[in-house]
Structure 1
Amino acid sequence: MTVAVLTSGVALGVHVPGLLLARRLAEVGVRARVDVVERHLPERERGLIPAAKAAFHRDFRVALAGQRLAARNSVGLVEDSVAELMARWAADDVDLLVVLSGFWLPTAHRYAAAHAGVRVHACHVDSVASPSFTSSGGGGGHPGAHEDIWLLQERDGGVARTIPVSREAALSWGERTGRLLAHGGGWGMGTYRAHAAELARAGFAVDVVAYERGDVPDERGRDRYFMIDPDWQPWHDPGFPPFGQIADDGRVEFTRGVDHHDGFHLTRAAVAVVSKPGGGTLMDSLSSATPVVLLEPFGAHEARNARLWVRLGFGIAHDDWVRAGRSLDVLESLHRNILAARPRALSYADQLAH
């Protein structure tokens, strides 16, 4: 079996899980390649992405309004580029297409129709179909066209399957740093910066993932700031995002591993992640047994993710945690819930291999 993992570089909540899936498949002897949809957009369309990312980061209301424009990437791929890609798939004997971004569905279905025996998995990192799937007409219920794989499907008081971020055991509560990790996903979206400042004033030590250098205040106190290399473009670079801590003089020494994204080290050691409930964030939470203090969601699909995490006892809404006195005991209880459920989540990569 050869697997093509199809992602979107502007949605790190699906691109990083795609990189992780390819890595986990390689560990169990399955050949896999990762293809990024933006590589096949017209250059003019690709050139608009940096400005959109900056606008969405700076104003969450703009980001929420911009979801209505998500369908623009579902059409208009460069035909010569797509045809060349499908020829490479055929040469590599690709017989399974794992679609993590719905913008790929028309191309995946086209390739499957032309090659007998090819399967298409629409792999959803969210608990319901995200805008890339709904805008592509692939929100589920396509008998014969593809099989829907739900990573956040609820089962036996936990999650049915996942893509393991790491094979390492989760750290015990006593091994944690006592720090909180605040971030806004790959685009740095949401209200996390204001909440990080509020938590620092309340006496917590916070690790903050900045999106741009202007996010870093002059006085940091006990807070630490990190960032993804702003020049990194996943449609040109096949590795995990370069990541590093911002030094007092503003310099960043970016590093990255080959097993998983470097930011996971912070998640694994934290007592909680303070973030909007993106699918990739919840995958990190499950793999690390680190609870999530849930901030305002990015759209209806993330709102459903938040309700699932609360129902399972893996996370708590920010306002509810504040009403509970920002209790560490509450976070420890959530950590123990995840720790108990974690072994029951099957590895999607292992399922594919066997």
Structure 2
Amino acid sequence: MTLQYQPMLKEMRQETITILCSGASLGAYIPALIASRQLSKREIASDVVVLENILLENKRNNVPETKFAFHRNFSLALMAQKLAKDITPSLDFELTSNLLATWKHQRRKRFMIFSGFWLPIANRYLQETDYLDIAIDLCHMDASASTSWKMYDATHSAFRHIWFFNWEDKCLSYNFCVSDDEPIPYNQRSDRFLIHGGGWGVGTYKSKVPELMHKGIKLDVIAYEQQDIENKTEHSRYFLIDPTWKPWEKDAQRHHQFPPFGEVKDNSNIAFQNNQPYPEVYNLIWQSRAIISKPGGGTLVDSLSAATPLVWLAPYGDYENNNGLLWEYLGFGISYEKWADSGYSFDILEKLHLNIMQARASLPNYINSYVETYCPKMITESLIVPANSVN
């Protein structure tokens, strides 16, 4: 018998990536789920935890009522944002302690946080553990600090601030790719425009629908409750997010899901669907001439990923205003007023699309960068093993 070196692959133990988000903001919730799905494609385990699942029950139950109140009254939503308070008194102490105990037992060291309301819990975990190599990405989904990030201490050395887009520096750092599909060339897209109000249907978008229809612009309108579709016309398509869906509830397979979404058709039930890799609405964004919406962080992600220009409406707070200003500065978007003054020009929008395409080409993919930085690779060990031989 002869001996020879034969390479064998040995997989190093992979740690679970803990992904923390809030169901109260789809601009934080949806990127968290996309990150989890994309890590799974790379055979990396992740655990998505939605903040509402550790809130006191009465606080959690108030979220849907608040959502519809804000949807119906933008002024109320703006006022409430200015009055936002520390989340800590609303946390269920036992549920929070049990969650931290689980992380300690499993020695969790890799985290992505998509909502600043998780910071007091993350800081508590850092205080109660002595791991030296904890790494926590604070994923800012807006171009400047939003309400939740401003309330808490985010200076621990374990924190790495991830700014996908940054108003202060007037730049982009990463592309958070919603889909692996390349953007559709502008001249191959449908002649339709997607108009919506973000995850909660907030803003002035509903007031723009009649004037856009009057101009002959074909719209795909996102509705949030049945009364939103009362003025439906034959030249517009309406899509509804299931009003009964709650982001913190899991499906039969114990997974969080993207918003159930379906087209509203006359005199028929809506067939709500859940796309597994990314939200169903992205298929509309991918084919649209532009997104007409308030400039939320999730909308910026969609715009960049699909190379779909943004026509931005009145923002929800100062940080969304900075989102809109940044997109306009970079040549990716235009305010609704300026677009209207141009005569609703398609040529302007095509130039914005080409600007996004050029910028995308040089941007690193965040999930790929994360995996390269933090996730163990396959390693090769040279082992001496018997090789079959004939004497």
- TM surpasses 0.5: yes
Change over 3 Å in CA distance of 1:74–1:306 after alignment to 2: farther
Find the partner of 2:201 among 175, 188, 202. Answer: 188
> Quick one: percent identity of the two aligned structures?
38
> Which residue, out of 31, 39, 43, partners 1:17?
31
**Are the structure 2 counterparts of residues 60 and 281 from structure 1 closer, same or farther at C-alpha, using a change threshold of 3 Å?**
same
Relative to structure 1, the CA distance from residue 137 to residue 90 in structure 2 (aligned partners, 3 Å threshold; closer, same or farther) is closer
Deviates more, 1:282-291 or 1:172-181: 172-181
In structure 2, what is the equivalent of residue 208 of structure 1? 221
Q: Measure how far apart 1:219 and its partner are.
A: 4.3
Aligned pairs, how many?
351
Q: Which residue of 2 aligns with 1:64?
A: 78
Match of 2:385 in 1: none
2:146 alignment counterpart:
130
How far the C-alpha of 1:59 sits from its partner, in A, is 1.0
Question: What letter is aligned with 1:270?
Answer: S
Quote the residue 1:79 is aligned against: 93
Query: Equivalents in 1 of 2:340, 2:334: separation in Å?
Result: 10
State which drifts further: 214-223 or 193-202.
214-223
**Structure 1 residues 218, 128: closer, same or farther in 2, change over 3 A?**
closer
Report the Cα offset of residue 216 of structure 1. 0.7
Per the alignment, residue 233 of structure 2 pairs with 220
Question: What is the CA-CA distance between 1:223 and the residue it aligns to?
Answer: 0.2
- 2:43 maps to 1:29: yes
C-alpha deviations, 1:117-173, integer Å up to 9, x for none?
2222211010111101112344xxx15252211111379986211321001010011
Q: Deviations over 1:289-335 (max 9, x none)?
A: 00000000000110110111001100000000011110000011101
Q: Which residues of 2 match residues 246-325 of structure 1 at below 5 A? A: 246-249=264-267, 251-325=269-343
| Deviating more after overlay: 203-212 vs 126-135 | 126-135
Provide the C-alpha distance between the structure 1 equivalents of 2:245 and 2:146, rounded to a whole number of angstroms.
24
Partner residue in 2 for 1:177? 190
Q: Where in structure 2 are there 5+ consecutive unaligned residues?
A: 1-14, 251-255, 373-391
SS of equivalent residue, structure 1 residue 196? helix
Tell me the distance in 2 between the aligned counterparts of 1:318 and 1:302: 15
Q: Report SS of the residue matched to 2:337.
A: helix
Secondary structure of the 1:346 match is coil
TM-score by length of structure 1 reads 0.95
* Equivalent position SS for 2:29: helix
Query: 1:93: how far off?
Result: 3.7
**TM-score, length-normalised on structure 2?**
0.86
Partner of 2:357: 339
Aligned amino acid, residue 183 of structure 1: H
- 2:109 maps to 1:95: yes
Measure how far apart 1:182 and its partner are.
0.2
One-letter code aligned to 2:233: R
Does the CA-based 8 Å contact 1:70-1:135 persist in structure 2? no
Q: 2:164 aligns with which of 146, 151, 157?
A: 151
1:109·1:145 contact (CA, 8 Å) conserved in 2?
A: no
Matched, 1:120 2:136: yes
Note closer, same or farther for the CA distance 1:247–1:323 as it changes in structure 2 (3 Å cut). same
2:73 alignment partner AA: D
Return closer, same or farther for 1:155/1:63 CA change in 2, 3 Å cut-off: closer
Question: For structure 1, which runs of at least 5 residues remain unmatched after alignment?
Answer: none
Question: How far off is 1:48 after superposition?
Answer: 1.3
Choose from 237, 244, 254 the match for 1:231. 244
Aligned partner letter, 2:178: V
Distance 2:102 2:222 in 1: 37
CA contact (8 A) 2:74 2:203 kept: yes
How far apart, in 2, do the equivalents of 1:145 and 1:158 lie?
Answer: 24
The 3 A distance-change label for structure 1 pair 100 and 74 is: farther
Partner of 2:139: helix, strand, or coil?
A: strand
Aligned-residue offset at 1:351: 1.2
2:57 to 35, 43, 46: 43
8 Å CA contact retained: 2:167, 2:323: no
Cα RMSD between the aligned structures? 1.8
- Say which is worse superposed, 53-62 or 241-250, in terms of deviation: 241-250
Query: Is the contact between residue 74 and residue 204 of structure 2 (CA under 8 Å) also seen in structure 1?
Result: yes
Relative to structure 1, the CA distance from residue 273 to residue 196 in structure 2 (aligned partners, 3 Å threshold; closer, same or farther) is: same
Change (3 A) 1:154 1:56: closer
Structure 1's 80 and 184: CA in aligned 2 closer, same or farther, altered over 3 A?
same
